[in-house]
A = this chain, B = another copy of it.
């Protein structure tokens, strides 16, 4: 991982690839690298779908190694959704493969000179960029089938669906999973639109002929990975909850806490949420049999195994086991309690290449505008199908909740910096509200998952209904998360790392043993801070200063049942998150 592949889509005579040494970016991986490149090389006021934006795709520091959970891929750019910097990350196979091919990053630059669509093959022999307009407007599923026929079953694929080609601000980049399905998405912030604006439909990664990356100190690395795996296995969240029910284990928990945003953030509890909970979902999957009854990882080396498969009533594959965020976004947030419909919406989102959180929030806003009724599953499906068709209505929806609210004159739109809030109401879990408001990413739960400490009792305890302690909590989590996002590690490792000092130490030991470093916990914190500082500076130059670090007005005005409280953290306190 000592080289960067840069592809200039604006080059005279067609796209040109160039491989350069990692140079000034040496030692950075994942989010640290994507945010460094974007903040250094992209003018903050450039147009997100213009030639001056760059799409940076980077494995993490430990990707491509034997370290468990190291298969997350970071994708960075200036976001078409927020107008600020963006790092969206995803599981699936590409990260491990890119890392084994030795690439610290792939950077798409410039902009196609006509509407030609390209596919990019990266393998041990180099890079091949081929125009292929036969791929135009293919959904991710058909696209992957077509590419599998051409490149075989052992590659991994990054791709965009019609949403990315239409440069919609909710467009994702799909990553194929271990079953070669396009189910893992760098979802948030419209990274797919940036890939679309570059004219790249798919990047095929073939790591055949490469080896596992070798650590500097094999013995120490082996020892650390062993402690790492033990730590993950023994923590109740990573060892039991997530493997058993997947992320959807949260539905009952968050609903019970009164912070489950229901019908466009009108209530904190959804009466019929038990019909779509993780427990119910697992029972349905077991009943329908097949491989759906067992959980598995989304990438090689995953031991948490929170993924699953969802079959329809007739036993045909429909989609991967929908995640908690998706089940909420298209479920409770739209008043829908039918798992099959939610799974269909998940499938459509994956196929069109859309962020499921943004789309669920958007459908709920459309429902508030009267385009369908809350609870109308078929109505929701019809709306998402419009997006795939690219009708004017679909183009609106595909650009997310903020644009949809503006177009249809809806005031209650749950976004920060233009990005929709995920599945936790900031009034019922005040700590996550601080993260939503202040994250460099727009409303984002993964940026500083205060739910862990507010609700799950991980990493200490902070009362979810009080403003006290939330600023410090969110700050520390945002710093830690930025660092973890740089390792290639799945964020779920944080549950174990936060509660078990030995497990956190094992992570640091793995990095040190692999790279021949002597990092301390303090160095990791400093890395996190430096990433946030880069991102924050980019955002300020892009026009997203402190005044944009706020939740929408209605969260301060409308009390949320059942606790009947508003968002209580003061603006002035929000401005202290980045004071460290």
Which chain A residues have a beta carbon within 8 Å of chain B's beta carbons?
A: 43-47, 49-50, 52, 80, 166-169, 193, 196-197, 391-393, 395-396, 399, 403, 406-409, 411, 540-545, 547-548, 550, 552-554
Cα(A169)–Cα(B543), bound, Å = 21
Write the nearest CB–CB distance from A358 to chain B, whole angstroms.
Answer: 14
B50 near A553 with CB under 8 A, answer: yes
B547 near A50 with CB under 8 A, answer: no
- Say yes or no: A411-B50 contact (C-beta < 8 A), given A392-B391, A392-B393, A548-B543: yes
Chain B residues with CB under 8 Å of A168's CB are: 409
A409 near B541 with CB under 8 A, answer: no
Report which of B43, B44, B399, B553 forms a contact with A406, defined as CB distance below 8 A: B399
Write the nearest CB–CB distance from A335 to chain B, whole angstroms.
Answer: 22
**In chain B, what residue has the closest Cβ to A371?**
B392
Cβ-closest 8 pairs across A and B = A167-B409, A543-B547, A392-B393, A392-B392, A395-B407, A47-B411, A50-B411, A543-B548
**In chain B, what residue has the closest Cβ to A166?**
B409
Write the nearest CB–CB distance from A51 to chain B, whole angstroms.
Answer: 8
- A49-B409, A196-B409, A392-B392 known; 6 new pairs, CB 8 Å cut-off, are A45-B550, A47-B411, A50-B553, A197-B409, A197-B411, A407-B407
Chain B residues with CB under 8 Å of A409's CB are: 49, 166-168, 193, 196-197
- Say yes or no: A399-B407 contact (C-beta < 8 A), given A45-B553, A545-B543: yes
Q: What are 7 of the A-B contact pairs (CB < 8 Å)?
A: A44-B547, A47-B552, A49-B409, A50-B553, A166-B409, A193-B409, A542-B547
Chain B residues with CB under 8 Å of A169's CB are: 406
Report which of B47, B542, B544 forms a contact with A554, defined as CB distance below 8 A: B47
Cα(A552)–Cα(B50), bound, Å = 11
Chain B residues with CB under 8 Å of A193's CB are: 409
Write the nearest CB–CB distance from A84 to chain B, whole angstroms.
Answer: 11
Chain B residues with CB under 8 Å of A47's CB are: 411, 552-554
B547 near A52 with CB under 8 A, answer: no
Chain B residues with CB under 8 Å of A50's CB are: 411, 553-554
- Say yes or no: A46-B540 contact (C-beta < 8 A), given A193-B409, A392-B391, A399-B406: no
Chain B CB within 10 A, most for which of A43, A197, A403, A543: A543
Write the nearest CB–CB distance from A196 to chain B, whole angstroms.
Answer: 8
- Say yes or no: A547-B541 contact (C-beta < 8 A), given A166-B409, A403-B403, A408-B395: yes
Cα(A49)–Cα(B408), bound, Å = 12
Write the nearest CB–CB distance from A162 to chain B, whole angstroms.
Answer: 12
Chain B residues with CB under 8 Å of A197's CB are: 409, 411
Cα(A545)–Cα(B546), bound, Å = 10
**In chain B, what residue has the closest Cβ to A169?**
B406
Chain B residues with CB under 8 Å of A552's CB are: 47
Chain B residues with CB under 8 Å of A43's CB are: 553
**In chain B, what residue has the closest Cβ to A193?**
B409
Chain B residues with CB under 8 Å of A407's CB are: 392, 395-396, 399, 403, 407
**In chain B, what residue has the closest Cβ to A391?**
B392
Write the nearest CB–CB distance from A388 to chain B, whole angstroms.
Answer: 15
Chain B residues with CB under 8 Å of A540's CB are: 547
Cα(A565)–Cα(B393), bound, Å = 38
Chain B residues with CB under 8 Å of A166's CB are: 409
Cα(A411)–Cα(B554), bound, Å = 32
Chain B residues with CB under 8 Å of A399's CB are: 406-407
Write the nearest CB–CB distance from A99 to chain B, whole angstroms.
Answer: 32
Chain B residues with CB under 8 Å of A406's CB are: 80, 169, 399, 403
Chain B residues with CB under 8 Å of A411's CB are: 47, 49-50, 197
Chain B residues with CB under 8 Å of A543's CB are: 543-545, 547-548
Write the nearest CB–CB distance from A115 to chain B, whole angstroms.
Answer: 11
Chain B CB within 10 A, most for which of A169, A395, A540: A395
Cα(A526)–Cα(B408), bound, Å = 41
**In chain B, what residue has the closest Cβ to A392?**
B393
Chain B residues with CB under 8 Å of A542's CB are: 547
Cα(A201)–Cα(B141), bound, Å = 50
Chain B residues with CB under 8 Å of A541's CB are: 547
**In chain B, what residue has the closest Cβ to A369?**
B395
Cα(A214)–Cα(B34), bound, Å = 69
Chain B residues with CB under 8 Å of A393's CB are: 392
Write the nearest CB–CB distance from A354 to chain B, whole angstroms.
Answer: 15
Cα(A50)–Cα(B395), bound, Å = 25
Write the nearest CB–CB distance from A86 to chain B, whole angstroms.
Answer: 16
Chain B CB within 10 A, most for which of A392, A540, A550: A392
Cα(A543)–Cα(B437), bound, Å = 14
Chain B CB within 10 A, most for which of A46, A411, A542: A411
